Amino acid sequence: MTPAVLGLVLFASLAHALWNIAAKSVSGKGYAFVLAYHGLSAILLTPIAIWLLASGTHEFSLGLLGAAALSAVFHIAYSVSLQSGYDHAPLGVVYPTARGVGPIITIIVAVLFLGERPTAPEIIGAFIVLAGIAVVTVHPKRAGGSRTADGGHGTNSHGVGRGLAWGGLIGTFIASYTLWDDFSVNHITDSPLLYFALSEICVATIMALGIVTIPGGAGRRADFTSILAGHRRALLTVAILSPLAYLLVLYAMQQAPVSLVAPVRETSIIVGTLLAWWLFGEKDIGMKLTGAVVVVAGIGLIALG
């Protein structure tokens, strides 16, 4: 991995951690918040997509639209489960678990089905990442647990169990969209920007239809209105930083193997862990930092291997 690509991925990881902190601040309104920030992202990206197509630089095709639509489905599953996970478990467990499980699955699939061949240091690094996740998420039992500023999800054994379960589910969706998007930007289109813009438009369209047709839509529409009124800062932060972070990753995946890009972007675990402790009062910062450093060491082996 070249220094330039590594720089793209590291900057993306910082942006990713920051928007996750903003997303954590909005609780109990998962579907509506996801629709709101994807909708705003789609509004911002639509003129860019129109310009790219009108300029003749890139061509529209049904294959491109289909690829973007499938990507949208994976991203919706990821985004909704992420908000639900943050509602039911500590960010300091959900976030590192999801961001660690995702690249491990990606590496396995890339090796078995995509023909990528990681070196011995990269394989060792993958196992070190798993070990770091265990250090971050497994803690000695404490009687009675603890309450935190994020709505009461302490890092007791029950909270850790929920965090592991949600993190594992979210990580699976991360691997799904990472692998599919890597295939798309390398075999279906040469424009990550156009591809991502179409994907965001598909996400917003599908979720807007869902808020009308899925049972409980009235409550979600009320949530949507309250988000527009009371969570503008979080909404704007996520709507800008989320697409920025992922666009950088898409460009990186055009220049480096996905089995390397996927784990290196998880340096966001360090930033996310520190901010979860600072902003939400989550406990066991020593253990979490130790585990995060172990994860980064594994990522370093993967990147340098």
pLDDT tens column, 271-283: 777 777 777 676 6
Picking from 301, 302, 296, 303, the residue whose alpha carbon sits closest to that of residue 132 is 296
Backbone dihedral region for residue 144 (phi beyond 0: left; psi -120 to 50: alpha; all else: beta): left
Residues 245, 8 contacting (CB under 8 angstroms): no
Average pLDDT, the chain: 83
Return the pLDDT at 137: 61
Residues 227, 28 contacting (CB under 8 angstroms): no
Return the pLDDT at 145: 41
Q: How far is CA 218 from the centre of its chain?
A: 28
Residues 154, 146 contacting (CB under 8 angstroms): yes
CA-CA distance, 104 to 84, in Å (whole number)? 22
- Give the pTM: 0.80
pLDDT tens column, 241-255: 999 999 999 999 999
